[in-house]
């Protein structure tokens, strides 16, 4: 192990950074077994660097029974042989750093696999040294579970263990028992697992389910959710009974804040950044509290645009809500439109259900212009749509359990298409663990590299612009009234009084509709000069009358940016 202790002062590279998420199983297979691996990632890091990203986030690659594809860890300190070795990981970090990329890894510490040695010992008896490392409880007098808590993947959250004659709590699969963070030994142990990777040279962590660390020690029943609360549920499909409860006792507990402060102290010792996954029915206030300036996590990963409709009104509502909460604590958000758990945005927000590459480019423009850091999911830079995976090829236990009403997460996890005409699109020489799609082959990396008007090149232009533009990376955001279907907002050092002009601010216009829209220039934006091509695909540029103070005519599914005079 190589010591990587760094100065306590962390530079703020993460603030406004663009982070590229890699799902290892599906990125690139180097050994022909049909499953992606660490050497495969290393071989394609130049793609991520050339795209203009600041960092790469790698989903779990640790030893695991793979019942939840790596989010059930049996050894925090080793690489699963499916993905390679620790030496392969070291080589990946070295190559990434040579390319100027930071490396973030997923750290799943709310629960382990039931194959983890900690749980194997804990389940063996009620009086072993790790007996209290997990959440155990006696049955009710009638033999039932201790309370009404539900698991994320359907059904009750308690599993009977005959060795101890007790139930254990699992917030996810039955094979993912929850650790008992009320035990100081557990907190110390998981912090040492984090330290291991800090010393191995990582630049940051994405903490999975980080509001699930603590539970109510009294095991109080959760209350039923209201219709209004269910309408804002962002963590599961609404046909899952999980959303019928308001989860105030099994997660998002106040005790979590003190632990996050301990975690932050450790991260600061190594100059390592963090982003927390916070899945909750009322996520924005938690996100603000979890990233309170300088005290806890550095960034909070938002689910708010990973579900629900893609209307301009709703996007504005979600962004403004989070911004108000972050202003309260000095926290920082991280936006995403796609990831490994939700339908790809190219399909989810497709107009009338028809995937349109122009819309994919437009949504990339929107994402890059929001305030906060940004996560791109592998293939999003290609505008990849969701894949229809037949039932017999499904791998995701979540989808298998809820088929056909919910088809699971396999459709967004299919392999990356590198070369359109190669065997398996260049992902592998064997049968891939999930099928590739013809629509993905049409959008393969090699074809888009050859097309200057492709979504890939549009993304490159956007990221190069954002990297050099502090107004986009770190400055304020303020929305203005606009025609239906249009987002109109400013980015810059904005005065507190919204009626005052902000000289030099950027004005971003996003037309999410399928018709051209006339945007009258309000007095506040008088004199704004269009920045031609700054965020718009050159093939679909804003129509402008040529007069500085005339109205803008925004083409369907297009965007434009202007600058106020300084």
Residue range 436-473, pLDDT digits in tens: 999 999 999 999 999 999 999 999 999 999 999 999 99
| pLDDT at residue 484 is higher than 90 | yes
- Contact between 497 and 482 (Cβ < 8 Å): no
Please tell me the predicted confidence (pLDDT) of residue 522.
65
- CA 61/CA 10 separation, integer angstroms: 26
| pLDDT at residue 102 is higher than 90 | yes
Contacts 24+ apart (CB under 8 A), 470-473: 471/504, 471/505, 471/506, 472/16, 472/368, 472/369, 472/506, 473/15, 473/16, 473/17
- Contact between 563 and 525 (Cβ < 8 Å): no
The topology (CATH level 3) of 18-112+183-464 is TIM Barrel (3.20.20)
Please tell me the predicted confidence (pLDDT) of residue 238.
52
- φ, ψ of residue 263 to 5 degrees: the values are -60, -45
Tokens of 493: 């050092």
Please tell me the predicted confidence (pLDDT) of residue 533.
47
- Contact between 125 and 131 (Cβ < 8 Å): yes
Please tell me the predicted confidence (pLDDT) of residue 551.
76
- Contact between 253 and 216 (Cβ < 8 Å): yes
For a pLDDT cut of 70, what percent of the chain falls above it? 92
**pLDDT band, residue 534 (cuts 50/70/90):** very low
**pLDDT band, residue 351 (cuts 50/70/90):** very high
| pLDDT at residue 72 is higher than 80 | yes
Q: What is the DSSP string of 308-354?
A: S---HHHHHHHHHHHHHHHHHHT--EEEES--TTS--HHHHT-GGG-
Tokens of 143: 């033999």
Average pLDDT over residues 160-171: 98
> What is the sign of the dihedral through the CA atoms of 299, 300, 305 and 311?
negative
Assign residue 114 a region (left: φ > 0; alpha: ψ between -120 and 50; beta: otherwise): alpha
- CA 136/CA 280 separation, integer angstroms: 24
| pLDDT at residue 548 is higher than 70 | no
Out of 119-128, 389-398, 536-545, give the one with best mean pLDDT: 119-128
- Contact between 276 and 283 (Cβ < 8 Å): no
Please tell me the predicted confidence (pLDDT) of residue 240.
78
Residues with Cβ within 8 Å of residue 125, at least 6 apart in sequence: 131, 163, 164
- CA 106/CA 113 separation, integer angstroms: 15
Among 277, 280, 281, 341, the active-site one is 277
Please tell me the predicted confidence (pLDDT) of residue 239.
63
Average pLDDT over residues 394-418: 93
**pLDDT band, residue 524 (cuts 50/70/90):** low
The answer, yes or no, to whether the previous bond of 404 is cis (omega within 30 of 0) is: yes
**pLDDT band, residue 376 (cuts 50/70/90):** very high
Tell which residue, 205, 279, 236, 170, has the closest CA to residue 409: 236
**pLDDT band, residue 429 (cuts 50/70/90):** very high
**pLDDT band, residue 422 (cuts 50/70/90):** very high
What's the DSSP call for residue 387?
P
Please tell me the predicted confidence (pLDDT) of residue 553.
85
Please tell me the predicted confidence (pLDDT) of residue 3.
47
Q: What is the pLDDT of residues 219-267, one digit of tens each?
A: 999 999 988 877 766 444 556 789 899 999 999 999 999 999 999 999 9
Strands 529-530 and 558-563: what pairing?
antiparallel
Residues with Cβ within 8 Å of residue 129, at least 6 apart in sequence: 121
Q: Where are the domains of the chain?
A: 18-112+183-464, 476-563
SS3 content of the chain, % helix, strand, coil (to 5): 30, 15, 55
What's the DSSP call for residue 509?
E
Name the β-bridge partners of 376.
Answer: 20
Q: Which residue has the tokens 């070295």?
A: 94
| pLDDT at residue 213 is higher than 90 | yes
Respond yes or no: is residue 277 known to be catalytic: yes
> What is the sign of the dihedral through the CA atoms of 232, 235, 237 and 242?
negative
Helix, strand, or coil here: 367?
helix
Among 203, 208, 281, 380, the active-site one is 208
Name the strands in the sheet holding 158-161, side by side, starting at the edge strand that comes first in the sequence. Answer: 136-137, 166-169, 158-161
- CA 289/CA 254 separation, integer angstroms: 10
| pLDDT at residue 525 is higher than 70 | no
Please tell me the predicted confidence (pLDDT) of residue 535.
44
Tokens of 293: 């300036």
Please tell me the predicted confidence (pLDDT) of residue 566.
85
**pLDDT band, residue 44 (cuts 50/70/90):** very high
| pLDDT at residue 270 is higher than 60 | yes
Q: Which residue has the tokens 């790809």?
A: 344
Count of Cβ atoms closer than 10 Å to residue 500 Cβ: 10
Identify the residue with better confidence: 281 or 190: 190
**What are the angstrom distances between the C-alpha of 152 and each of 173, 421, 530?**
8, 40, 47
Tell which residue, 559, 554, 550, has the closest CA to residue 529: 550
| pLDDT at residue 10 is higher than 70 | no
Q: Does the domain spanning 476-563 belong to CATH 3.30.465.10?
A: no
Helix, strand, or coil here: 133?
coil
């Amino acid at each position: 192990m190589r010591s990587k202790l760094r100065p306590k002062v962390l530079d703020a590279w993460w603030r406004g950074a663009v982070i590229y998420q890699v799902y290892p199983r599906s990125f690139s297979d180097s050994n022909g077994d049909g499953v992606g691996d660490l050497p495969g990632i290393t071989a394609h890091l130049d793609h991520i660097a050339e795209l203009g990203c600041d960092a790469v986030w790698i989903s779990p690659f640790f030893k695991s029974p793979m019942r939840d594809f790596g989010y059930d860890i049996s050894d925090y300190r080793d690489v699963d042989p499916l993905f390679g070795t620790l030496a392969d990981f070291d080589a990946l970090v070295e190559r990434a750093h040579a390319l100027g990329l930071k490396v973030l890894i997923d750290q799943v510490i709310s629960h382990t696999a039931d194959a983890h040695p900690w749980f194997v010992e804990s389940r063996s008896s009620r009086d072993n040294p790790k007996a209290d490392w997990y959440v155990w409880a006696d049955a009710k007098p009638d033999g039932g579970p201790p309370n009404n808590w539900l698991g994320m993947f359907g059904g009750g959250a308690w599993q009977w263990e005959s060795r101890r004659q007790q139930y254990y709590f699992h917030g996810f699969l039955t094979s993912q028992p929850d650790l008992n963070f009320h035990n100081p030994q557990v907190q110390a142990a998981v912090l040492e697992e984090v330290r291991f990777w800090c010393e191995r040279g990582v630049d940051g962590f994405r903490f999975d389910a980080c509001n699930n660390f603590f539970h109510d020690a009294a095991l109080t029943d959760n209350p039923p959710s209201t219709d209004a609360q269910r309408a804002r549920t962002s963590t599961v499909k609404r046909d899952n009974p999980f959303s019928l409860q308001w989860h105030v006792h099994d997660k998002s507990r106040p005790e979590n804040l003190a632990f996050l402060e301990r975690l932050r102290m450790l991260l600061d010792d190594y100059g390592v950044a963090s982003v927390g996954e916070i899945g909750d029915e009322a996520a924005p206030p938690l996100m603000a509290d979890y990233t309170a300036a300088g005290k806890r996590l550095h960034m909070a990963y938002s689910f708010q645009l990973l579900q629900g409709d893609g209307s301009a009104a709703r996007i504005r509502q979600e962004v403004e809500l989070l911004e108000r909460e972050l202003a309260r604590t000095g926290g920082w958000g991280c936006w995403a439109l796609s990831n490994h758990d939700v339908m790809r945005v190219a399909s989810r927000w497709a107009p009338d259900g028809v995937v349109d590459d122009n819309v994919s480019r437009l949504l990339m423009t929107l994402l890059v212009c929001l305030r906060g850091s940004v996560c791109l999911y592998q293939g999003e830079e290609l505008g990849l749509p969701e894949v229809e995976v037949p039932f017999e090829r499904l791998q995701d236990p979540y989808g298998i359990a809820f088929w056909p009403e919910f088809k699971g997460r396999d459709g967004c996890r299919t392999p990356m298409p590198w070369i359109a005409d190669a065997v398996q699109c260049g992902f592998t020489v064997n049968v891939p663990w999930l099928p590739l799609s013809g629509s993905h082959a049409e959008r393969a990396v090699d074809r888009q590299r050859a097309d200057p008007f492709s979504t890939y090149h549009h993304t490159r232009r956007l990221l190069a612009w954002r990297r050099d533009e502090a107004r986009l990376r770190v400055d304020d955001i303020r929305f203005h009234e606009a025609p239906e279907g249009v987002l109109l907002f400013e980015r810059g050092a904005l005065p507190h009084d919204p009626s005052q002009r902000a000289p030099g601010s950027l004005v971003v216009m996003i037309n999410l509709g399928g018709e051209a829209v006339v945007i009258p220039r309000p007095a506040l934006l008088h004199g704004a000069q269009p920045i031609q091509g700054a965020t718009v695909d050159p093939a679909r540029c804003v129509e402008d009358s040529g007069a500085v103070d005339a109205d803008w005519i925004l083409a369907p599914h297009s965007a434009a940016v202007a600058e106020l005079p300084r």
